[in-house]
């Protein structure tokens, strides 16, 4: 029976992630992918729709869908129903940010605003100052790094970090930042060694933030508890 719930979560994520990727691509192309079907002048919309579907690069939308499906299934395993739903909805904009920044090197303000809007109920319901401190801390750290790196981090990265901090709180956000820079640094070194990128090439950082956010959502508290126990500190 549990397998059925995982399967349902996966296919819901598959559908949601693929659909959102279609709409996000339409915003960058300036028209919907089935634009011709909506504006056919010969009245044969069904034929135009079928032609449009036949030309769709399904792999482009299937990959984000599969990624979202795996995330949904993982949250179902970790949190169960209905607690996983809130995490799943929050990660929908993050998945789209992952692929947009990877392809276009930009983080749309509309998606960051969506993340902030999803964080507000969590902040208001918990009245937890750690969440507010997380947003301020993460935004401040990334602003400072952007100034020091002279363009190494963009404004989108700063806003995304602040939005994530407001959701995770300052403790888990510190872990998230550490994981993002650790994996991002290793990938950057690997790309340089393989000659895929040069020192002058920019590497999108949002995918590493999204990956770290998933890791912290799944195992963040356990990782922090393990570290703080080793250091003799107390985790609350």
Higher per-residue pLDDT: 82 or 51: 82
User: What does the block give as tokens for 218?
Assistant: 């799944």
Q: Which residue has the tokens 């602003």?
A: 143
Residue 51 CB: number of other CB atoms within 10 A? 14
Which segment of 71-80, 104-113, 148-157 scores lowest on mean pLDDT? 148-157
pLDDT number for residue 220: 92
Same domain, yes or no: 133 and 56: no
Same domain, yes or no: 45 and 116: no
Last residue of a domain, one of 81, 107, 134: 81
Same domain, yes or no: 43 and 112: no
Same domain, yes or no: 58 and 99: no
Query: Contact at 8 Å (CB) between 197 and 203?
Result: yes
Could you list the residue range(s) of the whole structural domain that residue 232 is in?
A: 85-236
Q: Give the residue ranges of DSSP H helices in the chain.
A: 2-29, 35-38, 45-54, 58-79, 83-104, 109-126, 129-149, 155-193, 206-231
Same domain, yes or no: 118 and 189: yes
- How many independent structural domains does the chain possess? 2
CA distances from 217 to 121, 149, 156, 169, 176 (A): 18, 29, 22, 12, 9
Same domain, yes or no: 64 and 149: no
The predicted model gives 158-165 an average pLDDT of: 96
pLDDT number for residue 195: 84
**Cut 0.85: pTM above it:** no
Same domain, yes or no: 77 and 170: no
Instruction: Summarize pLDDT for 190-233 with one digit per residue, the tens.
Output: 998 988 887 778 889 999 999 999 999 999 989 988 887 887 66
Query: Contact at 8 Å (CB) between 202 and 157?
Result: no
What Rg do the C-alpha atoms of the chain give, in angstroms? Answer: 20
């Amino acid at each position: 029976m549990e397998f059925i719930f995982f399967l349902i979560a996966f296919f819901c994520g598959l559908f949601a992630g693929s659909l959102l990727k279609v709409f996000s691509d339409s915003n960058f192309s300036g028209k919907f992918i089935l634009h011709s079907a909506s504006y056919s002048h010969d009245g044969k919309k069904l034929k135009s729709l079928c032609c449009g579907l036949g030309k769709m690069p399904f792999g482009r939308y299937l990959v984000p869908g599969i990624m979202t499906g795996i995330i949904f299934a993982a949250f179902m395993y970790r949190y169960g129903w209905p607690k996983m739903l809130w995490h799943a909805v929050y990660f929908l904009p993050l998945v789209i940010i992952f692929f947009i920044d990877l392809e276009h090197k930009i983080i749309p303000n509309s998606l960051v605003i969506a993340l902030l809007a999803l964080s507000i109920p969590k902040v208001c319901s918990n009245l937890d100052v750690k969440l507010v401190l997380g947003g301020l801390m993460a935004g401040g750290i990334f602003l400072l790094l952007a100034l020091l790196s002279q363009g190494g981090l963009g404004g989108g990265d700063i806003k995304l970090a602040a939005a994530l901090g407001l959701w995770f709180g300052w403790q888990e956000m510190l872990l998230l930042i550490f994981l993002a820079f650790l994996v991002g640094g290793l990938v950057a070194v690997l790309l340089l060694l393989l000659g895929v990128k040069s020192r002058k090439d920019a590497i999108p950082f949002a995918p590493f933030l999204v990956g770290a956010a998933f890791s912290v959502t799944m195992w963040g508290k356990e990782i922090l508890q393990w570290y703080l126990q080793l250091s003799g500190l107390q985790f609350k």
